[in-house]
Each structure stands twice: as structure tokens, then as C-alpha cells.
Amino acid sequence: MQTELSQQLGVEHAVFGFTPFPAVAAAISRAGGFGVLGAVRYTDPDELKRDLDWVDGHADGRPYGLDVVMPAKKVEGVTEADVEAMIPEGHRQFVRDTLAKHGVPELAEGEASGWRITGWMEQVARTQLDVAFDYPIRLLANALGSPPADVVARAHDRDVLVAALAGSARHARKHKDAGIDIVVAQGYEAGGHTGEIASMVLTPEVVDAVAPLPVLAAGGIGSGRQVAAALTLGAQGVWLGSIWLTTTEADLHSPALTRKLLAAGSGDTVRSRALTGKPARQLRTEWTDAWDDPAGPGTLPMPLQGLLVAEAVSRIQKYEVEPLLGTPVGQIVGRMNSERSVRAVFDDLTRGFEQAVDRINRIAEGSGPS
């Protein structure tokens, strides 16, 4: 699965893997793909340094990258305390009531609650970049907008390619104007923050909108047939996020969540604002149902919602409260039915890709599919 872009980056397969787990990122690169470590949860630069050391030490010298979240709409000049003060009491009560209804225990005294909004703040993303640019990263990706011009320039000075996620051709054009090198066209099916256009429509639209910039297709890809389809639509590679969540290298810290993912079908996700205030695809749970219920208070905008639910999400995860337990994941969860190593996922992708290409070749030659 070689394209101009994979050759430029020196990887065997044009398969890019986004993951929050260092062990998965390194395994993707070792398997011949391009591992991209999600940095949003690293509010402590030393922790990021420790994990990048690990990736660097376990990628067997293969290239890897980093993904940061610099929202186009900035959360600048406000502290967490300012944001806390904007949260209405009625919403806090709704969180308390929903947790109480399911008997979710409190965290222990002094126990930190999960992720914070700070990972979405530009100044925090900049501290992540200060760390990351000391490593031989080959790609810097940004979610939720184009990275600022000085960040693009800094990356280019170090020979680091810059990618940005786009859910529409309009966003993709903005990225091109901002001087980035690669657009990740992420369709409606994808896990995490996502737009309203399905990959089948979005990929060729973005390919045409930003040509000759290379485009990676994201959203709903988990088999070699789908990789072949994406490349046929004009993409120079694929960008996968959900599929790695049930790999043996992933560290979800929750056997119950892994079981839920393995059991879920493609119809068991929902695009909900429950997690961050922006639409993000995730497992549908009684938690997302409560937030999406018109009889409830509804969600707050980003970053308020994220801060409002951070502690609750940590409690649900820690105590594995099954009806409420979820994670961002895309519709491809319906194909994630067994725990496999990253290497096994790659074997499956490459075999499926070859079979799809053979099939199309037979159709093109008139010898018919088998």
C-alpha cells in the first residue's frame, strides 16, 4: 500500500494510525504504518516527554508523529476557574442526579479527575510542541482547525510535515490556505469530533478541493477493502483511529469497556455533544442518552461541557459503571469483534487490500468478480 506520501515519509504502508496510547503508536510504526500519538491529554510536559521517549525507543527507528488539539476558536485568557464559574448550577445538579441514579461512587480524596480543558488551550498545545520538536517527529497533526502560521513555520523549519483534520471541503480549503501539507478528510462515521458528511462523499470532494495537496481518508475504515476504496477515491493514504482501541497494545484500563466495544454493532454509536460540547461520535450509553434527552438541561458549549463532566467521566470509568461507560469510537466498532495485535490488524488490512485490488482488476478485465 504505497503512495507518493508513504514513500516521502519512508513507510511501507500508507496507513496512518491516530492513538492516545504510546505502545500502539510505536506498534503501528513498527508494523510499517505511521503511528501518530494524540497529545491532548498531556497537560504535564514531563509526562509527554516520558511517553515520547518510549515511542522513540520502541519504534525501531521508523517514523512517527504527534497530534495536538489547537481549536480554531481559542480558549485564551481564561482559566479553568473562570470556566467553572460559567457553569450553571442546574447542570451540576443534573450530573449529580444522573450519577446518583446509577450509584456511581465518589473518587477517593485527592484523586485527580481525568482529562481537563487545558489540553485544548493553545498555550498548553504550545508546551507540547516545545517538547515534541526535540524528538525526530516527521508529522504534526492538528484537530479542530488550522494550526497558527508560526507553528506551521516552526514545523517546516524542522522538516516536519503538517496535517489538519477537515470535515468539509470548506475547512480543507482553509487548511490549504494556512500552508499545511496534508489534509485528513474525516467523515461522519469517524470516532471523536466529527462533521456531517460521510466519507464516501467527503473524500473525493476534499481531494478535488485541495489538489495537489495529499489527502488522507478517515472515518469508517477498518478493512483492506475500505483502504482500497479510499485510495480509489483519490486519497494518498488512510487515517484510522477507532480500530486500535481493541488492540492488545491499547491500554483502556477497563475490561468492561473493551467488552462493550467488542460487542457493539455499527449502529451503537451516536454523534453527541455530551463529552466536550462539540459533536463527537462515541458509544451510545445511558450517559449520552441523558444529555441528548430533550427533557434534560442539554449540553453546554465547549469548553464548559468538558469541564462539567470531567470528574463524572473519571468516576464512570474508574468504577466501570457499565450502563454509563463509553468512549469516543466510530461506526467501524461493528467490525471490532476480537482483541488483536496491531500487527494482526496490519496483516488483515494488507491481505484485504490485495484481495480488493485483485477483484477490481478481474472486473476491469471482464473476467468477473469472484
Please report whether residue 249 would count as binding ligand FMN according to CB under 6 A: no
Query: C-beta of 243: minimal distance to ligand FMN in Å?
Result: 6
Nearer to ligand FMN, 299 or 327 (CB): 327
Query: C-beta of 204: minimal distance to ligand FMN in Å?
Result: 17
Angle among Cα 126, 116, 158 to the nearest 5 degrees reads 20
Type and span of the H or E element at 329: none
* DSSP type of residue 18: E
Determine contact, residues 125/69, Cβ cutoff 8 Å: yes
Please report whether residue 239 would count as binding ligand FMN according to CB under 6 A: yes
Query: C-beta of 206: minimal distance to ligand FMN in Å?
Result: 13
Neighbours of 318 (CB within 10 A): 17
Please report whether residue 306 would count as binding ligand FMN according to CB under 6 A: no
Nearer to ligand FMN, 139 or 321 (CB): 139
Nearer to ligand FMN, 91 or 250 (CB): 250
Query: C-beta of 292: minimal distance to ligand FMN in Å?
Result: 19
Residues 6+ apart with CB under 8 A from 58: 22, 23, 26, 27, 30
Sign of the dihedral defined by the CA atoms of residues 191, 196, 200, 206, in that order: negative
Please report whether residue 220 would count as binding ligand FMN according to CB under 6 A: yes
Q: In this chain, which stretch among 49-57, 237-245, 297-305, 349-357 interacts with ligand FMN, using CB under 6 A?
A: 237-245
Decide the pairing of beta strands 139-143 and 280-283.
unpaired
* Residue 336 C-alpha from the chain's centroid: 16
Q: In this chain, which stretch among 23-31, 70-78, 233-241, 338-346 interacts with ligand FMN, using CB under 6 A?
A: 233-241
Residue 38 three-state SS = strand
Helices (H), 102-223: 122-132, 149-157, 169-177, 199-210
Binding test (CB under 6 A) with ligand FMN, winner from 22, 224, 326, 328: 328
Binding test (CB under 6 A) with ligand FMN, winner from 14, 143, 161, 349: 143
Binding test (CB under 6 A) with ligand FMN, winner from 71, 147, 167, 191: 191
Please report whether residue 205 would count as binding ligand FMN according to CB under 6 A: no
Nearer to ligand FMN, 91 or 147 (CB): 147
Type and span of the H or E element at 299: none
Residue 340 corresponds to which cell in the numbers above? 488483536
Type and span of the H or E element at 197: none
Query: C-beta of 366: minimal distance to ligand FMN in Å?
Result: 34
Window 28-67: residues binding ligand FMN (CB under 6 A)? 38, 40, 67
Q: In this chain, which stretch among 47-55, 184-192, 259-267, 303-311 interacts with ligand FMN, using CB under 6 A?
A: 184-192
Please report whether residue 167 would count as binding ligand FMN according to CB under 6 A: no
Please report whether residue 330 would count as binding ligand FMN according to CB under 6 A: yes
Query: In the chain, what are the helix, strand and coil shares in percent, each to the nearest 5?
Result: 45, 15, 40
Nearer to ligand FMN, 18 or 353 (CB): 18
Sign of the dihedral defined by the CA atoms of residues 324, 325, 328, 333, in that order: negative
Determine contact, residues 306/117, Cβ cutoff 8 Å: yes
Closest to 64 (Cα-Cα) out of 54, 74, 73, 76: 54
Query: C-beta of 333: minimal distance to ligand FMN in Å?
Result: 8
Neighbours of 111 (CB within 10 A): 11
Binding test (CB under 6 A) with ligand FMN, winner from 52, 327, 342, 353: 327
Please report whether residue 275 would count as binding ligand FMN according to CB under 6 A: no
Window 78-117: residues binding ligand FMN (CB under 6 A)? none
What phi and psi, each to the nearest 5 degrees, are found at residue 3?
A: -135, 175
Chain residue whose CB lies nearest ligand FMN: 241
Q: How far apart are CA 6 and CA 61, in angstroms?
A: 16
Determine contact, residues 234/202, Cβ cutoff 8 Å: no
Nearer to ligand FMN, 75 or 221 (CB): 221
Binding site for ligand FMN (CB under 6 A): 18, 38, 40, 67, 69, 141, 143, 165, 186, 189-192, 218-221, 239-243, 327-330, 332
